[in-house]
Structure 1
Amino acid sequence: MKELQDIVQAFDRAHQTGKQTALATVVHVEGSSYRRAGARMLITEDGQLIGAISGGCLEGDALRKARLVMAQNKPMLVTYDTTDDDDAKFGVGLGCNGIIHILIEPISATKQDNPIQLFKLFLSRREPVVLITIFTMNDKQALQPGTCLLLTQEGNIKGIFPDDTIKDILLADANDVLINGNSVTKTYVYGDKFTCFIELLQPTVSLVIFGAGNDAIPLVQLASVLGWHIYMVDGRSNYAIPERFPLAKKIITAKPENALSQITIDERTVIILMTHNYNYDLAVLKQLLPLQLPYVGALGPKKRLYRMLDELKNEGMEITDEHLTSIYGPAGLDIGSENADEIALSIIAEMQAVLKNRTGTSLRYKNTIHNRHSEQIITQTMQ
C-alpha cells in the first residue's frame, strides 16, 4: 500500500501549489506485463510521476496523454499492445508480449468522492475494502466513470454509481470479493456495456519487532522501504528509543506481559522475536501462540525454539499443529545470510512470501509469475 500512500501525499503537495493532476490505473492486462491490474501512477502537470504502471517504458507516453486528460478534464482509456512490433516505433515496446489497458482520469479536488478521497478513506481505516473502477472497453470515446466506488466491511458505500441498472449486481459481486479475497474484472451488459475492476485492498502490513538490538536496525529500514508500519518493543529503555529507530511508527518499552495490549494485532500483523533474551521471548511466544497470526518468527537456532515450545507444553499449554503453522524458526529464507543486513533481508522476504501465500521459490522454476486465469474478464448479460 506504499504506492497509494505516496500518491496521496504527492497529490496533497500538488494541490497546495495549485498543480493539476491525473491518475493512471492499470485496469486490465491480457498476457504478460510488468505491472498487474491495480498498479497506479499520479501524474502532475509539470511532469512529476509518482508510482508506476510499467517498468518505465509506458510512463513517457502516459504523461503526454495525461496532460491531454487534464486539459480536457475528461478520462481516457488507453491500450498498449506490446505484442505488436509497431508499438516499438513509438517508444512503448516493452517486450512483455501483453496488452495493457490503462485508465487515465483527471483529479478534481472539488469533487467530493474523487479517487484520492477514496484512497484516504481506505488508508484511514485498518480493514479491507473493495475499490471499484469502471470503464468501457468497447467504445473508448464513451464515458469512462473511473475510480468511483468504495465498499467497506460494514457495507458502507462511498461514491456514486454511474448507472443504477448495475447497482445491485455490482454490490453483490463487490461483497463476494470482500468475502473471498480475490479481485475480479467483470463486464455487465445491459444496453450499455460497463467493465468493472472490482479490487480488494488490504491494510498496510504491521511489523512488530520484539528486540531493539543493533540487528533490528536493518530490519526496520527494509520494512520501511515497503511502507510497513513498524512497532518496536523491548524491556530496555536505553535501547528502545526514537534516536535508534526513527522510522518506527511506535516504540514501546514494556515487560512482555504488558506489551501486546499496546498494539493492535490482526491478520495483517507479522511478528519477529529477536530480543536475545530467552525468558522475554518465551513470555511473548506464550501470548502469541493462541492468536494464530500469519507469521511469528523466532531468531536463533531451531533447538532454542523447540526448547521454548517444550517448556510451554510442560507448563500445561496445549499446542496444536494449527498453532505451529504460523511459527517460523529459525526465521528467514535460505539465501546464505551471515550478517545482520542479510538476515534482515531473508526475514522480510519470508514474511512477504507468507503474506502472499508463496513459497519463496526462484522464479526461474515457474512457467508463469502470475495467475492469468484470475485476470480474465467475466461477462454477464443482464435481462
Structure 2
Amino acid sequence: MPNTSSHHFYHLLARWLPLKDAANWVLGAVIDTRGSVYRKTGALMLLSDAGDQLGLLSGGCLESDLLLQARKVIALGKSRRLIYDATDEDNIAWRLGIGCGGAAEIVLHPCTAQNQYLHLPQVFSHLQQQQACEYHLAIDDARADFMPCLRAFSQRQHGRVHSSGTGQQLSTLINPVPHLLVLGSGIDLIPVCQLANTLGWRVTLADARLNEGKRAHFPADIETQTVAVTGLDAAFLQQVDAVVIAHHNMELDAVAIAYLESRELCNPYIGLLGPAQRKAQVLAMKGLTEAQLRYPVSGPMGLALGGDLPESIALSVLAECHARLFGSSALPLGAVAQNEFTALANRVVNS
C-alpha cells in the first residue's frame, strides 16, 4: 500500500498508477531556479484535470495556479513553460504572495498513453526493486527516457538542464525510498518503525523471536520477517540502506554485526543499541575491533537531541541515520549557512 502522506516520488507514482487512465495527466518539473525557492531543479509532480495534485513544486503556494495551467495543457494538448518570479511585481508569483523571494521556471508536459506516460511506469518498476533511475525529460516537447543506475542519497542532489542531440533536456536522479532494516522487536523499536514509515521509507522488521502479539504493535504496512539476520539472503541485504540493531541481547547483536560485516552491502548506516562500553563488549564477543569493521557501526547510535523516552530516542536515531544517508553534517542550518558565507568570503578575499 502506498504511503499517502509521503511526497517522495516513489509514493507519488504508487498513487498515480491506478489512476493514470481515470483522468488526463500532466507531469510538472522544475527546470531552473534563482534565489531562495522551496524546490530545486529536478523536482517533479503529477496533476490531473480531475483535480489531483501528487507532489509539490513549491512550498504549496504555486500548486493552485499549476493545476489551472495543467488543465490548459490538457485542453490544448501542448506543453507549457512557466516562470514564477517573486521579485517581479508583474509576475503572478508576486500576486500570489510567495514568501520565498526567488524565481522558478517550470515545464508542464502531457503524460499520456501516446507518449508512453513519459516512461514513468517503468521508472516505478525499477524503484520497486530498490534501483535508482537517471531520468531524462525533454524540455521542448513531451518526451522522456531513463537509465537504471545505483542509488545515491547524497545531500541536495539536484537535476540539471543540458543540451542533447535533440534539444535541451532535464536530467535528474530519481532514488528509491531508503530501506531501513530493524533487527529486534522490542517496544522501543515501535516508534523507530513508525517514524521511518512516516518519512516514507521502506521498513523491514526482522527477528526470529517475532510473534503475532509483538507484530500487532508495529505499523501494519511495514514488512516483517520472522528470521534471524543470518536468514536474510544476499539479494535482500543488497537493497538495505540502513540497519538498526537492537535485540536487547548481546549475543544476538554480536551475531548480527559479524554477519553484516561479512556480506557485500551498499555501505549502509549501521546503528547499535546501547552505550559505547556495550558496543566494545559486543564487538569483542566476535573478536572484532573498530579498525576491522568494513562498515562503521554507530554506538551509541543517534544524535544528542535530549530526551530519554522511546519516541525521543527514535527521533535521535533516525536523525543520525538520515544525515548519514544524505551526506549531511547534521549541524544546525544556521551554522551551515554561516560556514558557507565564511567560505565564500574567504574565496573573494583570496581571489
TM-score, reference length from structure 2 = 0.83
1:287-366 aligned at under 5 Å gives the runs 287-291=259-263, 293-313=267-287, 317=288, 320=291, 323=294, 326-366=296-336
Cα distance in 2 for partners of 1:368, 1:20 equals 46
- Does 2:17 match 1:21? no
Aligned length: 330
| One of 188, 211, 218 as aligned partner of 2:184 | 211
Deviates more, 1:85-94 or 1:335-344: 85-94
1:231 shift after superposition:
1.0
Does structure 2 retain, via aligned residues, the 8 Å contact 1:23–1:104?
yes
Structure 2: state its 5+ residue gaps.
1-5, 342-351
Cα distance in 2 for partners of 1:366, 1:88 equals 32
1:1-383 aligned at under 5 Å gives the runs 3-15=8-20, 18-87=22-91, 91-135=95-139, 144-146=140-142, 148-153=144-149, 185-188=160-163, 194-238=167-211, 242-256=215-229, 258-261=230-233, 264-266=236-238, 269-291=241-263, 293-313=267-287, 317=288, 320=291, 323=294, 326-367=296-337
Cα distance in 1 for partners of 2:143, 2:97 equals 27
Does structure 2 retain, via aligned residues, the 8 Å contact 1:8–1:116?
yes
- Equivalent residue letter for 1:59: E
TM-score, reference length from structure 1 = 0.77
C-alpha distance 130-269 of structure 1, shift in aligned 2 (>3 A): same
1:301 shift after superposition:
1.2
1:228 shift after superposition:
1.4
Cα distance in 1 for partners of 2:293, 2:30 equals 38
Does structure 2 retain, via aligned residues, the 8 Å contact 1:183–1:199?
yes
1:310 shift after superposition:
2.6
Does structure 2 retain, via aligned residues, the 8 Å contact 1:219–1:345?
yes
Q: Which secondary structure state, in structure 2, belongs to the residue aligned with residue 209 of structure 1?
A: strand
1:346 shift after superposition:
1.2
Does structure 2 retain, via aligned residues, the 8 Å contact 1:252–1:259?
no
Q: Which secondary structure state, in structure 2, belongs to the residue aligned with residue 350 of structure 1?
A: helix
1:218 shift after superposition:
1.1
1:89 shift after superposition:
7.2
The sequence identity of aligned pairs, in percent, is 26
C-alpha distance 322-186 of structure 1, shift in aligned 2 (>3 A): farther
Q: Which residue of 1 aligns with 2:344?
A: none
Q: Which secondary structure state, in structure 2, belongs to the residue aligned with residue 265 of structure 1?
A: helix
CA deviation vs aligned residue, 1:231-272 (integer Å, no higher than 9, x gap): 11112133675423344543122244x333276123752000
Does structure 1 retain, via aligned residues, the 8 Å contact 2:86–2:94?
no
1:72 shift after superposition:
0.9
Cα distance in 1 for partners of 2:120, 2:47 equals 13
Q: Which residue of 2 aligns with 1:172?
A: none
Structure 1: state its 5+ residue gaps.
136-143, 155-176, 372-383
Does structure 2 retain, via aligned residues, the 8 Å contact 1:85–1:93?
no
- Equivalent residue letter for 1:323: R
Cα RMSD between the aligned structures? 3.0
1:124 shift after superposition:
3.5
Cα distance in 1 for partners of 2:319, 2:79 equals 38
1:90 shift after superposition:
5.3
Cα distance in 2 for partners of 1:196, 1:56 equals 25
- Equivalent residue letter for 1:308: V
Tell me which stretches of 4 or more aligned residues in structure 1 moved more than 4 Å: 181-184, 239-242, 368-371
C-alpha distance 132-368 of structure 1, shift in aligned 2 (>3 A): farther
- Equivalent residue letter for 1:260: L
C-alpha distance 105-248 of structure 1, shift in aligned 2 (>3 A): same
1:347 shift after superposition:
1.1
1:208 shift after superposition:
0.6
Cα distance in 1 for partners of 2:93, 2:17 equals 36
- Equivalent residue letter for 1:302: A
1:40 shift after superposition:
2.0
Cα distance in 2 for partners of 1:56, 1:182 equals 21
C-alpha distance 351-234 of structure 1, shift in aligned 2 (>3 A): same
Does structure 2 retain, via aligned residues, the 8 Å contact 1:219–1:344?
yes
Does structure 1 retain, via aligned residues, the 8 Å contact 2:44–2:56?
yes
Cα distance in 1 for partners of 2:99, 2:339 equals 16
Cα distance in 2 for partners of 1:146, 1:322 equals 49
Cα distance in 1 for partners of 2:338, 2:120 equals 33
